Structure 1
Amino acid sequence: MLLRKRAWDMMHEDFATVDESASLAEAIRTLRESMKTTPQNSVVVVLKKSGSPRGILSVWELLKAVEDGVLKDEELRLTEETDWDQAFKRAGILCAREALDKHIVDDFTVLKPTDPMLVVVELIRKGKQPWALVQEGGKVIGVVHLNDIYREMTRDLV
């Protein structure tokens, strides 16, 4: 049974997307909204105007962006004079306006919907990312997460 599984059997069709011109705040907001209905979503697919993928923003990249932009802000210093609420708000506003370019992962694994399980596992392992995009006709039609592969592979083992 396992060898009959294909990428389309594991992919999620309800994934978060933003346009490549979106701000960091838009990407964060989009992923948070997506996670309300699909908690396993951990990536935002960044699309070009043509609809083809430009790259991915994972929770990891978004956290690094927030850490770099907010938590390392010069005004957030441990002094008695620091107005923490004001400094954090200012740093958050500056971070949220930031463009996505320096945070996008543009080296991502692409699967075909008909790729068999063994090919999916091999490509994800080689790509060293816990997710892959499923593309057909130049458009993203789904996202496969490492957790989905694990569930499928171990379902009949235990």
Structure 2
Amino acid sequence: MLLRKRAWDMMREEFATVSESASLAEAIRVLRESMKETPENSIIVVLKKNGNPRGVVSVWTLLKAIQDGVFKDEELSLTENVDWDEAFKRAGVLCADEPLEKYIDENFTMFRPTDPMLVVLELIRKKRQPWALVQEGGKVIGVVIVSDIYQELTRDLV
């Protein structure tokens, strides 16, 4: 049975998306909402205007963007005269207004829905990427997360 599993058996059809023109704030909002439904969802698929995938933004990339933009602000220094709430708010607004453009990972793994699970596992393992996209007809129809592969594998092994 394990050898018959395909990418479509593991993919999530519900996943977060934003357009390539989105801001960092919009991406953060979309991922937060998606994680309310599915806490292990850790990526946003970035779509071109024609609906084809441009790339992916991961939660790690968003955390790095927040760290770079917010926690390295000159106003947030360890002095006694800092209004922390105001400084953090200002830094957060500046960070969130940035375009998402520079945070998009365009090096993503793409599978067809009929690709065997072992092929999916091998490529994800080799690339050390915890997710992959499933595409059909030029459109993303699903996302495979490494934890989904693990669940499928262990379901049949145990």
Same fold per TM (> 0.5)?
yes
Q: CA deviation at 1:128?
A: 1.8
Q: AA paired with 1:43? A: I
Match of 2:69 in 1: 69
Structure 2 unaligned residues grouped into runs of 5+ = none
Match of 1:114 in 2: 114
Deviations 1:49-69 (A, max 9, x none): 010111101111010010100
Match of 2:31 in 1: 31
Q: Distance in 1 between matches of 2:106 and 2:125?
A: 17
Identity of aligned residues (%): 75
Q: TM-score, normalised by structure 1?
A: 0.97
Match of 2:8 in 1: 8
Q: CA deviation at 1:152?
A: 0.8
Root-mean-square deviation over aligned CA pairs: 0.8
Q: CA deviation at 1:150?
A: 0.7
Q: CA deviation at 1:157?
A: 2.1
Contact 1:14-1:38 within 8 A present in 2 as well: no
Q: TM-score, normalised by structure 2?
A: 0.97
Match of 1:102 in 2: 102
Match of 1:135 in 2: 135
- Number of paired residues? 158
Contact 1:4-1:116 within 8 A present in 2 as well: yes
Q: CA deviation at 1:154?
A: 1.4
Structure 1 unaligned residues grouped into runs of 5+ = none
Q: Distance in 1 between matches of 2:157 and 2:47?
A: 38
Bigger shift: 7-16 or 147-156?
147-156
